[in-house]
């Protein structure tokens, strides 16, 4: 599915999605660990930020200047009302060109909507726009496949690379994996946490 079509489908369910996810604590423990790893708390990027909520709250409380990127205009309208100090961009992550580097990059349950062919380039882009010692936290599908699912009566496409392929991409982007966890039964939701730092040669 084209990412902009995914954005239009999120537009259609934005208020319902937001009402269900606003109070969700899922993912916060991983973000807390990512924040604890940050040597600098200057700038943070939330990829697929949706309507904002707890994750952006956590970043703001930790002192970050936050930029949110999302392909859904309706989601961003909610996010802007909720977080007036955050810079929100309506863009599609495969096309978006970063103008700066970030100390923390979060892509929680967002890039798994991308076409399968786009994952390698996007993971590489996220690694490239991390500042030195910056922290990357993202989720993936846990299997090398493309599937179709349903949210609030609307069909969405999902895809992911394999755990091994993602690990290789992260390392190729000069990031050191810190955590790789399958955190949800039936173990098809994968959490990656990595730090931008070349391994010290033996």
User: Rounded to the nearest 5°, which phi and psi values hold at 12?
Assistant: -70, -25
pLDDT, the chain, mean: 94
Q: Is residue 202 predicted with pLDDT exceeding 60?
A: no
Q: Is residue 102 predicted with pLDDT exceeding 90?
A: yes
CB atoms within 10 A of CB 99: 7
Task: Find the range with the poorest average confidence among 31-40, 117-126, 157-166, 179-188.
Answer: 179-188
Distance between CA atoms of 194 and 202, rounded to whole angstroms? 20
pLDDT given at position 22: 58
Give bridge partners of residue 65 from the DSSP assignment: 43
For the whole model, what pTM was predicted? Answer: 0.95
Q: Is residue 201 predicted with pLDDT exceeding 70?
A: no
Q: How long, in residues, is the chain?
A: 202
* Bond prior to 169 in cis (omega within 30° of 0): no
Q: 142-153: per-residue pLDDT in tens? A: 889 999 999 999
Q: Give the residue carrying structure tokens 């996810």.
A: 21
């Amino acid at each position: 599915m084209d990412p902009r079509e995914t954005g239009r489908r999120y537009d259609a369910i934005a208020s319902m999605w937001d009402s269900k996810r606003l109070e969700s604590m899922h993912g916060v423990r991983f973000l807390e660990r990512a924040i604890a790893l940050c040597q600098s708390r200057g700038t943070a990027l939330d990829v697929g930020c949706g309507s904002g909520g707890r994750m952006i709250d956590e970043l703001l409380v930790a002192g970050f200047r936050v930029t949110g990127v999302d392909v859904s205009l309706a989601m961003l309208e909610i996010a802007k009302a909720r977080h007036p100090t955050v810079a929100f961009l309506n863009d599609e992550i495969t096309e978006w060109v970063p103008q700066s580097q970030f100390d923390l990059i979060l892509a929680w349950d967002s890039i798994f909507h991308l076409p399968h062919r786009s994952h390698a380039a996007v993971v590489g882009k996220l690694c490239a726009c991390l500042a030195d010692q910056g922290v990357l936290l993202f989720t993936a599908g846990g299997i090398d496949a493309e599937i179709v699912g349903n949210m609030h009566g609307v069909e969405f496409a999902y895809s992911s690379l394999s755990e091994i392929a993602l690990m290789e991409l992260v390392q190729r982007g000069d990031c050191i994996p810190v955590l790789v966890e399958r955190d949800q039964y039936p173990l098809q939701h994968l959490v990656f946490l990595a730090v931008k730092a070349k391994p010290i040669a033996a």
